[in-house]
Amino acid sequence: MKIIVTGCGKIGVAAIESLVDEGHDVIAIDNNPVVIEEIRDVYDVICLCSNGADFNTLKEAGIENADMFIAVTGSDELNMLSCIIAKKMGAKHTVARVRNPEYNDKSLGFIKQQIELSLILNPEYLVAQEIFNILKFPAAINVETFSRRNFEMAELLLRDSSPIVGMNLIELRKKFQANYLICVVQRGEDVFIPDGNFILQSGDRIGITADMSEIQKLLKMLGILQKSARDIVVLGGGRIAYYLSKMLISSGNTVKIIDKDRARCEMLSDILPQARIINGDGTDQDLLIEEGLLSSDAFVALTGMDEENILVSIFASTRQVKKVIAKVNGVELSNMAEKLGLDCVVTPKQTVSGIISRYARAIANSEGSNVETLYKLMDGKVEAAEFNVAYDFEYIDIPLKDLKIKKNMLISGIIRKRKVIIPSGDDVIKAGDKVVVIAANTVLNDLSDIMR
């Protein structure tokens, strides 16, 4: 597809990288010549140094033939204006980043309808939702949801003390009986779609699919189930902290936010009266302890500095805080943080680029078994894709054991009328099902792509 991206900051570059990797023709627009030159040097894309809301610029970019136009500049209003102009000039689909909390759900719905936006992106809200899901299930280092939360995938890190270290998957299923599937394992730099003889080792990062009650049943049998975090300390009072705190407070949690900016603290006190707001330096270890870090259930580092988030999170981990989550924008620093012992790191640009990739695939293949949900897992080496099964799908009602599925691919779940099926060889795919596929080191556009 032909896709135009205007606004080449962190989110824009992440979107460009993801779309180029998937084979789309991308045109990048930004009014900063230094940024444009850097993109031209790194990516095989057409670059224009100009204003993405300018008529002549969009004309030069060929907007009338664009399948998708993505506006992710630093201005919500400019993004929406750019999308209005792009749509009027012929772009088939328009995507705008709108992140100001003053645009509430009702106004966003109205705006989306009136200016014919295909998709509204709010990176801070999306990251807050990701963190919220993990805090509900703190034994996991990542939680992804499918089929409107009827089916979930939890990533766990196996430690030396885990009772399943040294067991193969056949033994595991015999000893711990629950309706689940271990569908992917990352070991160092390698990823595996495991068979029954695969032996788990300490340090493995495993992906388990099931409905959440079954995952919790398994973890309870393993003795590693933790109650959802109730008392949370948040470092940094930005937009992510605001959205996350709203979610937590609505769920009955107690929230404490620490930020060194007094004006921001006063604003948060006004808009989050149920949270406790502390004006102070969150890198001060004495302050953290004084404000109850050691008795909290979870600590979330959300400042604008990756290094600060990593260092303070390491301190919280050394003080045995039950759950520690750090926001890290840089992929290299994210990898470093994990090597330093932080097993739960969220990266906003990866979250957003995954959603853009999913949407691009969905509209590229809207006539077939299109992608409804898409996640990049295990450091981007694995995809988990949820497909809607069309009535003309070629492999309907054939037992899975009779299908020739490609290597390093696995059907990990079938959702049929909200019922979760962990598939066996005798199960079949039916029209109207939702099917979750795990694939290592490959790109899935359609459900039929998994067949040899």
pLDDT in tens, 4-38: 999 999 899 999 998 998 889 999 999 999 999 99
**Tokens at residue 71, please?**
């506006």
Mean pLDDT, residues 144-173 taken together = 86
Bridge partners of residue 326, in order along the sequence: 301, 345
At residue 102, does pLDDT exceed 80? no
- Contacts of 61 by beta carbon, 8 Å cutoff, 6+ apart: 4, 27, 29, 46, 48
Distance separating alpha carbons of residues 277 and 41, to the nearest angstrom: 45
Rounded to an integer, what distance in angstroms lies between the CA atom of residue 274 and that of residue 445?
45
State how far the alpha carbon of 155 is from the alpha carbons of 145, 204, 209, 218, 270, in Å: 12, 10, 9, 13, 37
- pLDDT band per the 50, 70, 90 thresholds, residue 369: low
Top-confidence residue, 106 or 429: 429
Is 128-222's fold the same as 350-450's? yes
The pLDDT of 256-269, averaged and rounded, is 96
* Residues in contact with 222: Cβ distance below 8 Å, sequence separation at least 6, in sequence order: 162, 163, 164, 176
- What is the number of H-type helices and E-type strands within the chain? 14, 22
Say whether pLDDT at 428 is over 90.
Answer: yes
Q: What is the CATH number of domain 231-346?
A: 3.40.50.720
The domain covering 128-222 belongs, at the CATH homologous superfamily level, to Regulator of K+ conductance, C-terminal domain (3.30.70.1450)
% residues pLDDT > 90 (the chain)? 58
CATH topology for 2-121 is Rossmann fold (3.40.50)
What's the whole-number mean pLDDT along residues 426-447? 89
pLDDT for residue 139 is more than 90: no
**Integer angstrom CA distances of residue 257 from 240, 254, 272, 278:** 12, 10, 10, 6
Mean pLDDT of 328-343: 82
Q: How far apart are CA 312 and CA 314, in angstroms?
A: 5
What is the reported pLDDT for 26?
Answer: 96
What torsion, rounded to 10 degrees, do the Cα atoms 39, 41, 46, 51 define?
40
395 with 449: CB under 8 angstroms? Answer: no
Alpha-carbon gap, residue 422 to 428, rounded angstroms: 11
Whether residue 218 is predicted with pLDDT greater than 80 in this model: the reply is yes
Reported as a single tens digit per residue, the pLDDT across 264-289 is 999 999 999 999 999 999 999 999 99
Instruction: Look at 113-122, 371-380, 421-430 and tell me which has the smallest mean pLDDT.
Output: 371-380
Residue 366, pLDDT above cutoff 60 = no
Confidence of residue 233 (pLDDT cuts 50, 70, 90): very high
Round the average pLDDT of the chain to a whole number and report it. Answer: 90
Report pTM.
Answer: 0.86
Residue 395: pLDDT band with limits 50, 70, 90: very high
Give, for 369, the enclosing helix (H) or strand (E): none
pLDDT at residue 442 greater than cutoff 70: yes
- Residue 365 is predicted with a pLDDT of 64
Dihedrals phi, psi of 412, to nearest 5 degrees: -100, -10
What pLDDT score does 226 carry? 76
Question: What is the pLDDT confidence band of residue 237, given thresholds at 50, 70 and 90?
Answer: very high
| Domain boundary assignment for the chain | 2-121, 128-222, 231-346, 350-450
Asked if 345 and 134 touch (Cβ cutoff 8 Å), the reply is no
Answer positive or negative: Cα dihedral of 282, 227, 254, 149.
positive
What's the fold here for domain 350-450?
Alpha-Beta Plaits (3.30.70)
Q: Are 83 and 69 in contact (CB under 8 A)?
A: yes
> At what angle are helices 306-318 and 331-339 packed, to 10 degrees?
20
Q: What angle do CA 396, 399, 405 make, to 5 degrees?
A: 85
**Number of Cβ within a 10 Å radius of residue 337:** 24
pLDDT of residue 360: 85
pLDDT of residue 193: 92
Q: What is the pLDDT of residues 46-75, one digit of tens each?
A: 999 999 999 999 999 999 999 999 999 999
DSSP string, 283-329: T-HHHHHHTTGGG-SEEEE--S-HHHHHHHHHHHHHTT-SEEEEE--
